[in-house]
Amino acid sequence: MSLADIQARAQAKAGYAGSKLRAHYFREAEKAKRIADLKAAGYVVPLSEWLGHNNGPAWDVAQLFVVYCWENAVKAAWKVPQETAIRRARKAARLGFTYKQYALEIMERSRFPDETLAAQLKH
């Protein structure tokens, strides 16, 4: 008996069969549990997971694209030239706002806050 066989037998007796084998075991166990739950609920489980599948895109691809577009739009909205950011930060500090509050006021309402508007927004 080789050293590898002895080690394999020892690991099997100890219940340790390697991370890949354990992951495969748990994946199969979860699949069997899911199928058993579906059968108990009265659903008919197909013989193959590909039965009736047209290999088209997943149903959530459109939603993922919308999220991707929003993330890019937010990044683009906050990307301004350095001089503009410095000027806005100085004016925001003078009015008692943070840079983020000042920039959001510009982006949301398309107006540049002044002293009267700052007094209205603070109350």
Model confidence at 35: pLDDT above 60: yes
Model confidence at 17: pLDDT above 80: no
- Kindly report, residue by residue over 41-82, the tens digit of the pLDDT: 888 776 666 666 676 677 777 888 999 999 999 999 999 999
Question: What does pLDDT average to over the chain?
Answer: 82
* Sequence-distant (≥ 6) Cβ neighbours of residue 103 within 8 angstroms: 78, 80, 88, 92
pTM, rounded to two decimals: 0.47
Contact present, 75 and 69 (Cβ < 8 Å): no
**Farthest-apart Cα atoms in the chain, separation:** 89
pLDDT at 89: 94
